[in-house]
Amino acid sequence: MQPNTLLDAILDEAGISHAGLAAHVNQAGRKRGLALRYEHTAVARWLKGQRPRGQVPDLICEVLAGRLHRHVTLDDIGLGVPGEPSTPHAGSLSGFVERATALWRSDEQQRAHVLGAPAVTGTPAVMPVWEWENPPEDVDVSRGGRHRVTAADIEMLRAARTHYEQMYRKAGGIATRTRIVGFLNAEAAPLLRGSYTDATGRQLHRATGGLVAIAGICAYDSDAHGLAQRYFHQALRLAKASGDRGLGAYVIALLVNQALFMREYRQAVAFAEAALRAAGKHITPALASDLYAMQAKAYAHLGDSSSALSCIRRAETAADRIRRGYEPDETGYVQPGLVNVQVAEALLSLGELAAAREHAAAAVDNPAHDRGRVHRLAMLSTIELRQGNADNAVATAVQMAEQARGMESQRLRDRLRAVREHLVRCGSAGTAEAAELIDGALRVPL
């Protein structure tokens, strides 16, 4: 059940409260001979994704149409009946834009039913990837609106993506998400509703897709997995509208990473395969190396050592072909050493400790952005503890804790806690000092 952000947005536009909508629906129902007794709690359930029964969806449209002085359809309030024909607008790119911007608005307003929504699984999780990979394509993405979108507007979006990505790497997703979502609402949404040709529109959708992907990364880093997934699905739809297969493959890599975290290992393998297959020649060596490395981790967790080792070899081969300066901005996260730490995690799952430590040490020896270095040190410390090398593990954990101080990231907090638990169980010399440093890093308010 997904939050109804369209209903949330239109209620906000109409200036009507949950209790107010319930009262108006009850009143409209009485005119039709219905004895309705809805309260604000019912509206809260509708916003969480529950569909009202009987004539109530039509009554909601009637109430909102009277308030807004315009025609309001079931699709406008997110209550179109699945399997029944919808208005042309609902299934179009412009309809997608309205649904996407409604989510951004709800996120910025900290709507609990949006922030706390769980990630979907099964068919709803797979369909956005299938739709990206398969026809139909967007033949024409031009649009007529009040504001004419210019090259300067698109460059502003690109610069913003770089800015927020760097902020995320230094400060974490929790601190960055509110800022990037505010930017999406204030700057990107009006541009998507503006006036542009097909060529300009494709650049606009690509630039916006890159921004939305970062918003999803920040939501993932904040432990808002349902919200992160919706941002990733939006970014995938924007990538399709842009016609850039490489951007779509990058977004799927983000979905693969989330699937690994959620222990959906078979889905991670399938998604990575879809990205590699559909992007084809448009996929860059950096992205291919990351996708193969994540596949290796998934296979390792599934206990398929043969497939894991095969993917490791493919990841290393692709990594050797990376040429800095020939990669798009989005794959900048594939820095030297990233594949090593991914491979180290896969080898650790397979019980290959010596080889895992070799890769983890190589990852630490390569320069990385702040949060990436924390992850690399955490992996090395974990492997050293598994090998029984407690002294080295403690020294590595101290470096990790010092590097993590000041970052607001739920994922980093998870890594810090895991390392701390391993150290405490070890109980060797220096453990108390390392644990205290980790506790200090964990005291950053979220």
The answer to whether 106 and 8 have CB atoms below 8 angstroms apart is yes
Query: How far is 344 from 363, CA to CA, in rounded Å?
Result: 9
Whether 179 is in a domain gets the answer no
Question: Is residue 342 predicted with pLDDT exceeding 50?
Answer: yes
User: Range of 37's domain?
Assistant: 5-87
Residue 70's pLDDT is 83
* Tokens found for residue 306: 């043969």
pLDDT digits (tens, 9 = 90+) for 28-63: 999 888 889 999 999 999 998 899 988 898 899 989
Query: How far is 141 from 242, CA to CA, in rounded Å?
Result: 8
Whether 231 is in a domain gets the answer no
3-state secondary structure of 369: coil
The answer to whether 48 and 3 have CB atoms below 8 angstroms apart is yes
How many structural domains comprise the chain? 2
Query: How far is 412 from 220, CA to CA, in rounded Å?
Result: 12
Whether 227 is in a domain gets the answer no
Whether 44 is in a domain gets the answer yes
pLDDT digits (tens, 9 = 90+) for 263-272: 999 999 999 9
With vertex at residue 55, the alpha carbon angle to CA 50 and CA 56, rounded to the nearest 5 degrees, is: 45
Residue 444's pLDDT is 55
The answer to whether 99 and 212 have CB atoms below 8 angstroms apart is no
Q: Nearest to residue 164, comparing CAs of 145, 187, 180?
A: 180
User: How many Cβ atoms are within 10 Å of 295's Cβ, its own excluded?
Assistant: 29
Decide which of 59, 87, 115 is a domain's last residue: 87
Decide which of 32, 62, 87 is a domain's last residue: 87
Decide which of 87, 111, 138 is a domain's last residue: 87
Whether 28 is in a domain gets the answer yes
User: How many Cβ atoms are within 10 Å of 408's Cβ, its own excluded?
Assistant: 18
Question: Is residue 89 predicted with pLDDT exceeding 70?
Answer: no
Whether 157 is in a domain gets the answer no
Half-sphere exposure of 58 (CA within 13 A, CB side): 5
Q: Which of 61-65, 303-307, 349-353, 362-366 bottoms out in mean pLDDT, i.e. has the lowest?
A: 61-65
Q: What pTM does this model have?
A: 0.84
Whether 151 is in a domain gets the answer no
Query: How far is 356 from 344, CA to CA, in rounded Å?
Result: 4
From the number of C-beta atoms within 10 Å of its C-beta (0-12, 13-18, 19+), residue 159 rates as exposed
Whether 439 is in a domain gets the answer yes
Q: Which of 74-88, 281-295, 373-387, 431-445 bottoms out in mean pLDDT, i.e. has the lowest?
A: 74-88
pLDDT digits (tens, 9 = 90+) for 179-233: 999 999 999 999 999 999 999 999 999 999 999 999 999 999 999 999 999 999 9
